[in-house]
Amino acid sequence: MTPQPPQTKIQLTNTSDYREHYANSVQVRVSLWDFFLLFGTMNQSAPDAVTIHNFEGVYLSPQQAKALANVLNQNISQYESTFGEIKLEPKTPASIQ
pLDDT at 95: 43
Please write the tens of the pLDDT for every residue from 76-91. 999 999 999 999 887 6
Q: What is the pLDDT of residue 93?
A: 56
pLDDT of 15 strictly over 50: yes
pTM (two decimals): 0.75
Give bridge partners of residue 28 from the DSSP assignment.
37
| b/e sequence 71-85, b meaning 16+ C-beta within 10 Å | eeeeeeeeeeeeeee
Task: Delimit the domains of the chain by residue range.
Answer: 25-83
Look at residue 68 in the predicted model and tell me its pLDDT.
97
d(CA 76, CA 56): 23
- For residue 18, give Cα distances in angstroms to 1, 21, 71, 96: 44, 10, 22, 43
> pLDDT category, 96, cuts 50, 70, 90?
very low
Average pLDDT over residues 41-64: 95
